[in-house]
């Protein structure tokens, strides 16, 4: 079993190679019996341009932050499954140029996972509650997956929650009536973590989507957390660049709370971005106009 002392690494893969390569035809359970027989399964899905090794390192940073929160969050590790999909090209330092061609692997990975997840059953044949936590283009994978399952609901797999971090998904794709809207609203609750400081989503995403023929310089969900009325909860992680989410302790705290963990108040407070207060306005001095009173004699 892959892992380190004291920690279980539950892993699922639709990769055929550690870097690049096509999508596998079936999900490979790297660490069986996970996820069969569990009441709750939380699947982490990495983003674009991540090799298997790079994704594993990102997941490790995230789980280390979970363990620091306390016993409740550390107990989540048994439910966590790390998912690997080929959202990268084996092109070395220029792998990032493959982005326009990764829509196919994202959709193909979603199709394989959509066939697999409905086979999961909890203890004694009870339904399994599934939570999805994704980053970047991994959000396209899970929304494509949920869109397929919205059209063919599963009796055994229930999608309890979806967390989207820095979602590299066009806002107009998840608006009511649009193609991915059924998947966006399938889960019982949703949490969107976004950052206005994400320059990848600000500059590269519109170019990549346009090159992929999916839009004309569109806005990403992960830039402003739009559409504002769609998600159950939205949180801005000010200062985060595109690659900062897995290693940001604020992400771990918010996801833990989203999963029902009682997060200590001091950790919750640290997730709120501090903003400088504006300078106080100059004090206003009220000047009373002088009035002359007419003298009156007492009778």
In terms of Cα–Cα distance, which of 298, 193, 186 is closest to 244? 193
H or E stretch including 270? helix 265-270
What is the three-class DSSP state of 14? strand
CA separation for the pair 64, 252 (Å, rounded): 9
- pTM value is 0.87
Least confident of 227-241, 260-274, 281-295: 281-295
The pLDDT value given to residue 289 = 42
Q: How far apart are CA 191 and CA 133, in angstroms?
A: 9
Residue 74: count of CB within 10 angstroms of its CB: 16
User: Homologous superfamily of 3-270 in CATH?
Assistant: Alpha/Beta hydrolase fold, catalytic domain (3.40.50.1820)
Domain borders along the chain are 3-270
* Greater pLDDT, 279 or 59: 59
* Residue 200 clears pLDDT 70, i.e. is over it: yes
- Note the pLDDT of residue 5: 36
Residues 187 and 129 sit within 8 Å (Cβ to Cβ): no
Percent of the chain with pLDDT over 90: 78
Q: In 10 A of CB 211, how many CB atoms? A: 12
E strand segments, the chain: 3-4, 7-8, 11-15, 23-29, 40-45, 80-84, 128-135, 157-165, 189-194, 233-236
Q: Note the pLDDT of residue 278.
A: 44
- pLDDT per position as a tens digit, 110-163: 999 999 999 999 999 999 999 999 999 999 999 999 999 999 888 888 999 999
| pLDDT above 70: residue 241 | yes
Provide the pLDDT for residue 299: 40
What does the pLDDT read at residue 108? 98
**What average pLDDT score do residues 180-201 get?**
97
Give the tens place of pLDDT for each residue, 14-49.
999 999 999 999 999 999 999 999 999 999 999 999
Which band of pLDDT confidence, cut at 50, 70 and 90, is reported for residue 90? confident
- Distance CA(6)–CA(267), nearest Å, equals 24
* Residue 214 in this model has a pLDDT that exceeds 60: yes
pLDDT at 156: 86
Q: How confident is the model at residue 279 (pLDDT cuts 50, 70, 90)?
A: very low
Residue 1 confidence (pLDDT) above 60:
no
pLDDT digits (tens, 9 = 90+) for 62-79: 999 999 999 999 999 999
- At residue 55 the predicted structure's pLDDT band, cuts being 50, 70 and 90, is very high
């Amino acid at each position: 079993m892959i892992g380190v002392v004291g920690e279980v690494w539950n892993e699922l893969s639709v990769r055929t190679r550690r870097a690049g390569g096509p999508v596998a035809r079936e999900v490979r359970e790297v660490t069986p019996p996970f996820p069969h027989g569990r009441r709750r399964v939380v699947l982490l899905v990495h983003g674009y341009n991540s090799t298997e090794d790079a994704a594993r390192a990102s997941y490790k940073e995230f789980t280390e932050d979970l363990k620091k929160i306390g016993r409740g969050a550390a107990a989540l590790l048994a439910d966590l499954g790390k998912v690997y999909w080929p959202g990268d090209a084996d092109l070395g330092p220029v792998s990032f140029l493959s982005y326009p061609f990764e829509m196919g692997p994202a959709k193909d990975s979603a199709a394989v996972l959509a066939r697999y997840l409905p086979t999961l059953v909890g203890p004694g044949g009870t339904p399994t509650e599934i939570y999805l936590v994704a980053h970047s283009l991994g959000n396209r994978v899970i929304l494509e997956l949920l869109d397929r399952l919205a059209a063919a609901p599963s009796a055994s797999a229930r999608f309890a929650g979806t967390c989207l971090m820095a979602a590299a998904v066009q806002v107009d794709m998840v608006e009511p009536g649009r193609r991915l809207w059924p998947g966006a609203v399938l889960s019982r609750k949703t949490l969107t973590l976004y950052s206005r400081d994400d320059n990848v989503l600000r500059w590269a995403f519109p170019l990549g989507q346009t090159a992929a023929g999916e839009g004309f310089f569109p806005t990403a969900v992960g830039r402003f957390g739009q559409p504002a009325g769609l998600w159950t909860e939205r949180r801005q992680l000010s200062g985060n660049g595109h690659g900062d989410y897995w290693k940001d302790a604020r992400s771990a705290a918010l996801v833990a709370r989203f999963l029902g963990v009682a997060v200590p108040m001091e950790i919750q407070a640290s997730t709120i971005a501090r903003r400088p207060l504006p300078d106080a306005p100059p004090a206003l001095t009220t000047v009373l106009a002088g009035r002359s009173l007419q003298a009156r004699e007492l009778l």
